[in-house]
Structures are given as structure tokens and as C-alpha cells.
Amino acid sequence: MVSPNGTHADRFADRTAVITGAARGQGRSHALRLAAEGADVIAVDVCRNIETVAYDLATPAELDDTVAMVRDAGRRAVGVQADVRNPDQLTGGIENACAELGTDPDVVVANAGIGLMADPDDRAAFRDQLDVNLAGVWNTVQATAHRMIAHGRGGAIVLISSVYGLTGRGGDGRPGTDGYVASKHGVIGLTRSAASWLAPHRIRVNCVNPTGVATPMVLNPAVAALAVTDEAGNNSYAANVMDVPMLEPEDLTAAVTFLASDEARYITGISLPVDAGLLLH
């Protein structure tokens, strides 16, 4: 049954979802929608700043808030403070959370990512983009897929890339910008590779490619300084074809939950743009 707000009651009943970057923004939106549709949630976030990133990352209090919101929705939740760049820390945190809940992952959303760098000319910015946005996604797959194989129920993994993973736009020859574009292209390759080796285990892997989304990663002074706003209030940062400056997190969540659901049971290895027409340029 579909509720008035578009959720499907019990679509993820008796399932557990692992979501990285879950303290706020898109990750929190994914966690709350999955919980509303019956899933228990393991919410992962680094909860500290990264020196090369131009804006503040999430806090422990924000992760606690996400966990509390999931519990208020009537589902179980565990928060994990872990850096996706650190595979031992990430794997250990997820293992402990699974033990606490007495379950293993059925749904994984590799959402953690970083955007604008404080100094795009700093070569360390290129490394950090790849470490978080690509290696961190691979670490997330590794930390969860083998547990999913072991429990034998199949499942779904959704990786978050970007429209800039599907176009050459976005880079300008500097380490920070080229690193972002390269990392998001890499996620698409990882999606296809993981979809191939996990298919025999009935584990599907897909990725979502969003345009700009109204989250703290985009709605901050550093990003605003890059954009030009016209008289109608449209922001040039995303340059969407449809008449919307940027999407809301819930717009991405709708795509994520579809790909994670049984309705998409024969969809694997795809890249799904949720881009308000940006790729039509």
C-alpha cells in the first residue's frame, strides 16, 4: 500500500540498510525513507572535518539526530562514526552494529562523499576526492557485500555518483575539480564491476547520478561563490534544463529506494541520472 506521502508501507520490512554519509543531507533522507518503509538502519558518518574540504562536514550530534529520527519512526537504528577511507574502521563499525542488531545488511547505500575543496590547486585535494568518493565507496562495498553473500538472501547496493560522472564537464585542470570528476566516473565503473561479480549471489548494484542537490555540501558560501544567479533566482552551478535550480534530497531518495526495492529486482549495473535535464546540454 502506498501512503499519501508516497512511501510504500513495509516494502523493506525485516531488512536492514547500511547508509554512509547518513548524518544529514541525502544520507539522512535515505535513512528516514527506508525506515518509513520498514527497514532497520545502520547510519554511518565520519562526523569530523577533512582539512582539504571547503565546508564543515557533519557532526556527531547530527548523526545522533538521524538515529533518533529512525527510532521515532518505529525502527531500530545504530549510529557508527567511521571514516570510509579507513577500511578497518569502517568494517569494524559495521560488524559491531550488525552484532548489536542481530542481523546483516540487505540494502546498502554508499552515499558518503565530498565536494568543493578549500584549495582546488592543492594536490592533496585530488587524493582526498579519490579516497572518499571512490575508494570510500569501494570500501563500503567490501565491508558489506561479503556479509550479504554469507546470509544468502540477496540484496541491493546503491552507489551515489554524479552527473559529472557522465560528462566531461566539471573539471578545469586543477587537482580538486579534476579529482571530483574522476572519482565520480570511477563510481560508475565500480558499479558495473560489482554488479557483475555479485549477480550470481542475487545482489544487485546500481548507481544514481544526481545534479545539484540542496544539502550542506552545495548550500554553503564556498559553493555559492562559484555560481551566478540570474534575475529569476536560477543558480548556474547546476545549469539544469528543467526549471528548477537544484533538487531536494527526497528527489534522490525516491530513485534510491526504487533501485533498492524488489520492484527493481532485475535491474543491475545501471547508472540512473536524476538530473533535471542537465545532461541534455
CB 78 within 8 A of CB 10: no
Average pLDDT value for residue range 173-181: 87
Whether 59 is covered by a domain: the verdict is yes
* pLDDT band with cut points at 50, 70 and 90 for residue 3: low
Average pLDDT value for residue range 252-269: 98
With H, G, I as helix, E, B as strand and everything else as coil, classify residue 8: strand
Average pLDDT value for residue range 140-147: 98
- DSSP E strands, the chain: 16-20, 40-45, 77-81, 107-110, 155-160, 203-210, 271-274
* pLDDT band with cut points at 50, 70 and 90 for residue 220: low
The per-residue pLDDT for range 94-112, each reduced to its tens digit, is 999 999 999 999 999 999 9
Whether 58 is covered by a domain: the verdict is yes
Higher pLDDT, 26 or 8: 26
Predicted local confidence at residue 8, as pLDDT: 79
Average pLDDT value for residue range 28-40: 98
Q: Check if 164 is active-site.
A: no
Whether 78 is covered by a domain: the verdict is yes
Residue 231, judged by CB atoms within 10 A of its CB (0-12, 13-18, 19+), counts as exposed
Average pLDDT value for residue range 131-160: 98
Whether 219 is covered by a domain: the verdict is no
Residue 95, judged by CB atoms within 10 A of its CB (0-12, 13-18, 19+), counts as middle
**How many other C-beta atoms can be found within 10 angstroms of the C-beta atom of residue 208?**
27
CB 37 within 8 A of CB 8: yes
Q: Between helices 136-151 and 175-198, what is the axis angle to 10°?
A: 10
The answer on pLDDT for 81 being more than 70 is: yes
Whether 277 is covered by a domain: the verdict is no
Whether 83 is covered by a domain: the verdict is yes
Whether 266 is covered by a domain: the verdict is yes
Predicted local confidence at residue 230, as pLDDT: 45
CB 120 within 8 A of CB 177: yes
The answer on pLDDT for 235 being more than 90 is: no
Predicted local confidence at residue 120, as pLDDT: 77
Mention every residue, 6+ apart, whose C-beta is less than 8 A from residue 22.
28, 30, 31, 41, 43, 44, 45, 63, 66, 79, 111
- We report the CATH number of the domain holding residue 21 as 3.40.50.720
Cell numbers 538521524 correspond to 66
Return the C-alpha cell found at 181.
Answer: 570528476
Predicted local confidence at residue 237, as pLDDT: 54
The answer on pLDDT for 185 being more than 80 is: yes
Domain count along the chain = 1
CA distances in angstroms from 198 to 87, 212, 251, 257, 261, listed in the order given: 20, 30, 27, 19, 17
pTM of the model: 0.91
The C-alpha atoms of residue 57 and residue 191 are separated, in whole angstroms, by 26
Residue numbers of the domain that contains 109: 16-213+249-271
CA distances in angstroms from 161 to 12, 51, 242, 274, listed in the order given: 23, 22, 20, 11
Q: Which of 177, 157, 161, 160 is nearest to 169 (CA)?
A: 177
Average pLDDT value for residue range 117-138: 92
> Of 53-67, 158-172, 235-249, 261-275, which gets the smallest average pLDDT?
235-249
Whether 229 is covered by a domain: the verdict is no
Whole-angstrom Cα Rg for the chain: 18
Predicted local confidence at residue 203, as pLDDT: 99
